[in-house]
Amino acid sequence: MAQRVMSDIIRDQRPLMLPPEVTVQEACRKMARRRVGAVLVVDDDRRLLGIFTGRDAVSRVIAKGLDSGSTSLAKVMTKKPDTIAPGKTAMDALLQMQDCGYRHLPIVENGRVIGIVSRGDFRGAEKARLDEETGFAEIMR
């Protein structure tokens, strides 16, 4: 099976991108409307500043008793998140997400956001290969 690259996976994608001053409440509304689990926080030139996920809403806002209507994304986002280049393979992305423990991975080219992938974006064969490769790595330890 040929390895898919990130640019193939995100073709025609319009990721949810918002400026850092947007409130958590507004970001969550937009995430719910679009049925996505993350928002990319960007500047006017689509340069990635951070990422905010549903997990962040729970652990960084609700659990701490912050007001989602007045708390900006800038205060609770993950700043300077890890990214992946569009020429990398699906397996590269899956391994990175697994090794680092996150479910969303921004795709950046020349400093600008071009997309985002989540674990659910990958085919069964890619996930099976990941399980195969990581299982082998566990045996070798």
67 three-class SS = coil
Q: Is the pLDDT of residue 30 over 70?
A: yes
Q: What is the pLDDT of residue 134?
A: 56
Tokens of 138: 């566990």
Contact 14, 115 (CB under 8 A): no
Q: What is the mean pLDDT of residues 115-128?
A: 72
pLDDT band with cut points at 50, 70 and 90 for residue 136? very low
Higher-pLDDT residue of 4, 103: 103
What whole-number distance in Å separates Cα of residue 70 and Cα of residue 141? 48
* Residues 53 and 104: beta-carbon distance below 8 Å: yes
* Residue 115 bridge partners (DSSP): 107
Domains of the chain, start order: 6-140 (3.10.580.10)
78/136: higher pLDDT: 78
Is the predicted pLDDT of residue 130 greater than 80, yes or no?
no
Query: Tens digit of pLDDT for each residue in 36-53?
Result: 999 999 999 999 999 999
The residues that bridge with 107 in the sheet, in sequence order, are 84, 115
Q: Residue 61's pLDDT band (boundaries 50, 70, 90)?
A: very high
